[in-house]
């Protein structure tokens, strides 16, 4: 069964600290892996997209990694800010228009 | 800089009522999607439209119908609402739907069925 799991379910960190969110998937065939940020009450916003041949991609303070062999990805946030408080969603694209969404990790950044 | 616009933002219906959720994008995208988001679960695809004039079922299409009115607009209709359809509905669009194209999401319609 195509599935995307994320850990932890929720995370609380202090402003200025770094954190890493994890994503494991069993989606096949694999086309691409995406990370989205979803603020409360808003729609998801794309952070990074990686295809099979890419193993890292950055977007400002966000860096995503992909290990296609172990089917794992991580999102690293550097020097967190209060505005980073949001849900982070891992999405794996398969054939055609098939995208499998993870349940998200809820990040809270405290002052 | 509107992007993807969804209306209404909130709606309460009684069981058995019908309604249409509207979605419009101003980015000249070919592909459009309807998802639902339920607590503790990932977004699930209801229907999508790869291009104007085409629609296809997603993972959870039962109880819904869609219309790709033109390139800009993609509507979702609940013919006879049920409490199980209480959810947050998101519309999204992408340029081509291919691997390296991001999806752009609206801010959702929060729908409660009593």
Kindly report, residue by residue over A1-56, the tens digit of the pLDDT: 889 999 999 999 999 999 999 999 999 899 999 999 999 999 999 999 999 889 99
Nearest to A47 by CA among A74, A70, A27, A13: A74
Distance from CA of A111 to the nearest CA of B (A): 27
Distance from CA of A28 to the nearest CA of B (A): 14
Q: Does B108 touch chain A if contact means CB atoms closer than 8 Å?
A: yes
Predicted local confidence at residue B96, as pLDDT: 83
Contacts of A41 in chain B (CB under 8 A): 107-108
Q: Does B103 touch chain A if contact means CB atoms closer than 8 Å?
A: yes
Q: Answer for the pair B8, B107: CB distance below 8 angstroms, yes or no.
A: no
Q: What is the pLDDT of residues B17-51, one digit of tens each?
A: 999 999 999 999 999 999 999 998 899 999 999 99
Q: What is the pLDDT of residues B57-76, one digit of tens each?
A: 999 999 999 999 899 999 99
- DSSP characters over chain A: ---EEEE-SEEEEETT--EEEEEEE--SS--EEEEEEE-TTS--EEEEEEETT--EEEETTEEEEEETTTTEEEEEE-S--GGG-EEEEEEEE-STT-EEE---EEEEEE-
- pLDDT reading at B99 higher than 70: no
Contact: A97, B102; criterion CB under 8 Å: no
Contacts of B33 in chain A (CB under 8 A): 97
């Amino acid at each position: 069964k195509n599935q995307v799991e994320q850990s932890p379910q929720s995370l609380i960190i202090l402003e200025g600290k770094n954190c890493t969110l994890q994503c494991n998937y069993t989606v096949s065939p694999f086309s691409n892996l995406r990370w989205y940020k979803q603020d409360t009450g808003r729609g998801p916003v794309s952070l990074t997209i990686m295809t099979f041949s890419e193993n890292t991609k950055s977007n400002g303070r966000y860096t995503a990694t992909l290990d296609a062999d172990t089917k794992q990805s991580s999102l690293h946030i550097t020097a967190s800010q209060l505005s980073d408080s949001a849900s982070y969603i891992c999405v794996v694209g398969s054939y055609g228009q098939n995208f499998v969404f993870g349940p998200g990790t809820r990040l809270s950044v405290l002052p | 800089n509107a992007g993807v616009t969804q209306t209404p933002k909130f709606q309460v219906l009684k069981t058995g009522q019908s309604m249409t959720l509207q979605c419009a994008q101003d980015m000249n995208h070919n592909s459009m999607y309807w998802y639902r988001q339920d607590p503790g679960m990932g977004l699930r695809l209801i229907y999508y439209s790869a291009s104007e004039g085409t629609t296809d079922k997603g993972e959870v299409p039962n109880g819904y119908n869609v219309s790709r009115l033109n390139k800009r607009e993609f509507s979702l209709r609940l013919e006879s609402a049920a409490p199980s359809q209480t959810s947050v509905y998101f519309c999204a669009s992408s340029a081509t739907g291919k691997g390296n194209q991001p999806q752009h999401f609206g801010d959702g319609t929060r729908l409660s069925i009593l």
